[in-house]
Chains A and B, each alone.
Chain A
Amino acid sequence: MRMRTIELGVGAFIFAGFLALVVLIVNVSGLTLSTNEEGYRIYARFENIGGLTVRSKVTISGVAIGKVTNITIDPDALKALVEMEIEPQYDYLTLDSSAAILTAGLLGEKYIGISVGADEEMMADGDEIEDTQSALVLEELIGKFLFNKVNE
């Protein structure tokens, strides 16, 4: 009888532990199983990425469709070269799409917003977005504003 209560307690303990793991996976980290699918990679060159990091979101109309996987400097153009991985089900990015670095809220994280164009041809692995808009850097804005004030 004593052994039985002990075994019951241990069983409940192990069950609670695994339940906690499931809660951590599903509720806390919001893991979805589709992430193991390989997406396709596209590129974009920006004048200034201003705080964009690897793992930042890539969105269309605010909906996440992929993530930034690599950021390097293009040595010829001296621009930031951002590599993005787009999930394979979002295969309707046209070749003339444009990308902008946006900010979530006033002080929030940076992410890439893509607006889809009207071209017939779709983007495939390795293509590059030509039309880009850099991050808004607060210092530059203030600088421009002051410069205009002085000119007036």
Chain B
Amino acid sequence: MIDQLQALGFTGLNKLAALGRSFIMLFHSLCYFPNPRVGFPLLIKQLHFVGVLSLIIIVVSGLFIGMVLSLQGYTILVDYGSEQAVGQMVALSLVRELSPVVAGLLFAGRAGSALTAEIGLMKATEQLSSMEMIGVDPLRRIVAPRFWAGFISLPLLSMIFSVVGIWGGLLVGVDWLGIYEGSFWANMQAAVDFRIDVLNGIIKAIVFGYVVTWIAVFQGYDCIPTSEGISQATTKTVVYSSLSILGVDFLLTALMFGDL
């Protein structure tokens, strides 16, 4: 009984210590004056790795999600004779919810897990400690560019997701099912507000980019430096970041659209 209580306390303290370490890492890797000549090429490389290489999966899934939304919306709305509202439905659900959340989930699976595995392997092969040995701070050299890259990429990916999804919806709704194109756009523009819908969606994507990259980089940086430890850390990255995206999404939605 006492032993179990002690074990609980031990786990709790460990979690808290990890949380503290993650904040220290965040602080040390973001709060310094960057040297643009060294930092910029590193950032470009990470943007390529995190952003450009995620484009394919984002574009393909955005297209299909938009097409499915349009098709599903049409089959229901046509019963009420209001199939023109498909455009508004597709655009609102993509811009407000689906593109930040789905792009975030895909991003966690595609880029987050790769970040964790990369940094974890660096740690396991003692590249990070050798860097410290020669006087290069791995937080600035390795962690910070990845942070900024994730932070910049996800909002861009989310916006691309929205646009491709709306185009997919247009493809199915207008070209295939024969909704009048004018009313498709007119209803959409009447319903979507820039500040309330588009901007809030972008804010969501920025927050998710932050959360996913933070979790991914920290799990890699803090992993047990064995092959097993790396695999555990990669799993944790995907699970934690997916759960926190969904949880944070509810909080943000309640704040933005819940009239709290």
Seed contacts A25-B194, A28-B166; 16 additional CB < 8 Å A-B pairs: A3-B41, A3-B44, A7-B44, A10-B48, A10-B51, A13-B48, A13-B51, A16-B156, A24-B95, A24-B163, A29-B189, A29-B192, A29-B193, A29-B198, A105-B82, A108-B82
What would 8 A/B residue contacts be, using CB atoms closer than 8 Å? A13-B47, A17-B160, A20-B162, A24-B198, A28-B163, A28-B188, A29-B197, A107-B82
In the bound complex, CA of A87 to CA of B257 (Å): 26
Chain B residues, Cβ within 8 Å of A55 = 193
- Give the bracket for the number of chain A residues in contact with chain B: 20 to 34
Decide yes or no: A27 and B185 within 8 Å by CB, A6-B45, A10-B44 being known contacts. yes
In the complex, whether A143 has a CB less than 8 A from a CB of chain B is no
In the bound complex, CA of A18 to CA of B51 (Å): 14
Partner of B160, one of A20, A31, A105, A107: A20
Decide yes or no: A29 and B156 within 8 Å by CB, A6-B44, A6-B45 being known contacts. no
In the complex, whether A23 has a CB less than 8 A from a CB of chain B is yes
In the complex, whether B101 has a CB less than 8 A from a CB of chain A is no
In the complex, whether B155 has a CB less than 8 A from a CB of chain A is yes
In the complex, whether A21 has a CB less than 8 A from a CB of chain B is yes
In the complex, whether B91 has a CB less than 8 A from a CB of chain A is yes
Chain B residues, Cβ within 8 Å of A10 = 44, 47-48, 51-52
In the complex, whether A126 has a CB less than 8 A from a CB of chain B is no
In the complex, whether B65 has a CB less than 8 A from a CB of chain A is no
In the complex, whether B30 has a CB less than 8 A from a CB of chain A is no
Closest to A24 in B: B198
CB-CB contacts below 8 Å: B113-168 with A: 152-153, 155-157, 159-160, 162-163, 166
In the complex, whether B55 has a CB less than 8 A from a CB of chain A is yes
CB-CB contacts below 8 Å: A41-64 with B: 55
- B192/A107 in contact, CB under 8 A: no
Decide yes or no: A20 and B194 within 8 Å by CB, A10-B52, A105-B82 being known contacts. no
- A6/B198 in contact, CB under 8 A: no
CB-CB contacts below 8 Å: B7-63 with A: 41, 44-45, 47-48, 51-52, 55
In the complex, whether B80 has a CB less than 8 A from a CB of chain A is yes
Q: How far is the CB of B39 from chain A (nearest CB, A)?
A: 14
3 A-B pairs closest in CB distance: A17-B156, A30-B189, A20-B159
